[in-house]
Amino acid sequence: MRTLRFLLQKEFRQVFRDKNLLRQILMVPIIQLLIFPWAANYEVKNISLAIVDHDHSSYSEKFISKIFSSGYFIHSDYTSSFKDAYQLIERDKADIAIEIPQGFEKNLVRENQQKIFLAVNAINGVKAIVGTGYLASIITDYNSQIRAEWVQADRFNAAPAIEITSSNWFNPLLNYKMFMVPGILAFLVTLIGGIMCSLNIVREKEIGTIEQINVTPIRKQYFILGKLLPFWIMATFVFTLGLLISRFAYGIIPQGSIVLLYAFLSVYLFAVLGMGLLISTYSDTQQQAMSISFFFIMVFNLLSGLYTPIESMPAWAKVITDFNPLRYFIEVMRMVVLKGSSFHDVSHHFLVIFLMAVVLNTWAILNYRKTT
């Protein structure tokens, strides 16, 4: 233990001497946690709309007013022809063009039906699908409003109808920050463990101090622990800051046990730090270590379920997510923070991450060879 204590003193002194590294570890995650949740969201707003109104009737005006009053659409331009509206889409000045035909009000009154043409810019598929869904909902509501005005009350109420009442569990207000912030915090902790730790041993190689350590009687188990524990402590500190920011900046209070979160974090960090140390044992330069770490971090991020539900991924991608540690941490964060899940609910996640930690750290210890 005395040997380990001296190694930890050495590592902390190196970290605190490097002011840039200290800023990257402490300040960058805090700034990212304050910015990312406002940009990484599932809400689609400010959909630019081009209107082609050939009817200019009271019904078409009410319809257009109802669209813009929803708050999801902004006015791009009123055009006299669909050709002009289509040119706005081609120049990316409009996302959707609506053409209201002549006789819109007359056909609704006399024929009880009327078609409206929608042209959607589908370069951004998500924006196209969501924008079309918004318009479909608005048109359905507009139809119901017209029907309620035309049909007599007693005849209208006599028709059978199914009434739907929904209840949103765990996130009643459907606030996307409640869903995104825990996942982003898990990702930022992974960045510290995966990238910063992977540069540690490689830095010793580049400055030449690794040769001085290799000729000492220090066992490589103690050497690996000395490299791992400082970043484990700093990542835990960053996680604590992240929870405080979540509480005071976003109003997110974990519904489950804080102790359970820290218990899983402790095991998770050993797995991620073990991966970083393993990368550093295979790398000769910091550039190599950074490239390899960045590759794995990007794969972990995109296949973690942070932005895309794992259930929507193809079968081969689901198999990869089974070996993705970030996937399990994000799931545990959301389960404990939002649902108040207990240890029994996340016991499988504990087991998987514990096995990953054992395998990665054992591999790192075996792969590191002292040379004289």
pLDDT at 131: 87
pLDDT at 342: 93
By the 8 A CB rule, do 202 and 208 touch? Answer: no
Question: Does residue 167 belong to any structural domain of this protein?
Answer: no
Nearest 5°: the CA angle 369, 205, 26 is 110
The reported pTM is 0.80
Please tell me whether residues 36 and 56 are part of one structural domain.
no
CA distances from 17 to 13, 23, 39, 189, 213 (A): 6, 11, 34, 22, 19
Identify the domain boundary among 127, 158, 189: 158
pLDDT at 161: 61
Please tell me whether residues 74 and 197 are part of one structural domain.
no
* CB neighbourhood size of 16 (10 A): 10
Q: At what angle do helices 220-250 and 19-39 cross, to 10 degrees?
A: 40
Element holding 57 (H helix, E strand): none
CA distances from 94 to 44, 76, 89, 120, 135 (A): 15, 6, 5, 9, 15
Question: Does residue 359 belong to any structural domain of this protein?
Answer: yes
Q: Which domain holds residue 274?
A: 2-40+172-367
Question: Does residue 163 belong to any structural domain of this protein?
Answer: no
Please tell me whether residues 27 and 84 are part of one structural domain.
no
Please tell me whether residues 153 and 176 are part of one structural domain.
no
CATH number assigned to the domain comprising residue 74: 3.40.1710.10
How many structural domains does the chain have? Answer: 2
Q: What single letter denotes the amino acid at residue 22?
A: L
Identify the domain boundary among 104, 123, 158: 158
Question: Does residue 145 belong to any structural domain of this protein?
Answer: yes
Question: Does residue 13 belong to any structural domain of this protein?
Answer: yes
Which residues fall within 8 angstroms of residue 8, CB to CB, at 6 or more apart? 226, 229, 230
Which residues fall within 8 angstroms of residue 46, CB to CB, at 6 or more apart? 72, 73, 74
Identify the domain boundary among 130, 158, 186: 158
Please tell me whether residues 153 and 14 are part of one structural domain.
no
Please tell me whether residues 107 and 123 are part of one structural domain.
yes
DSSP notation for 252-269: ---SS-HHHHHHHHHHHH
Please tell me whether residues 137 and 179 are part of one structural domain.
no
> Digits of tens for pLDDT over the chain (372 positions)?
677 777 777 777 777 777 777 777 778 888 888 888 887 776 778 899 999 999 888 888 998 999 988 888 998 888 888 888 888 888 888 899 999 999 888 888 777 778 888 999 888 777 888 888 889 889 888 888 887 776 655 555 555 666 677 778 888 877 888 889 999 999 999 988 888 788 877 877 777 777 666 667 777 777 778 878 888 988 899 999 999 999 999 999 999 999 999 999 999 999 999 998 889 888 888 888 889 998 999 999 999 998 888 988 999 999 999 999 999 999 999 999 999 999 999 999 999 999 999 999 899 888 876 553
Please tell me whether residues 130 and 181 are part of one structural domain.
no
Please tell me whether residues 212 and 327 are part of one structural domain.
yes
pLDDT at 154: 52
Please tell me whether residues 282 and 193 are part of one structural domain.
yes
Please tell me whether residues 254 and 215 are part of one structural domain.
yes
117-120 sheet: strands from edge to edge: 73-79, 47-53, 96-100, 117-120
Please tell me whether residues 190 and 337 are part of one structural domain.
yes
Q: What are the tokens at 40? A: 């990484």
Question: Does residue 341 belong to any structural domain of this protein?
Answer: yes
Question: Does residue 372 belong to any structural domain of this protein?
Answer: no
Question: Does residue 166 belong to any structural domain of this protein?
Answer: no
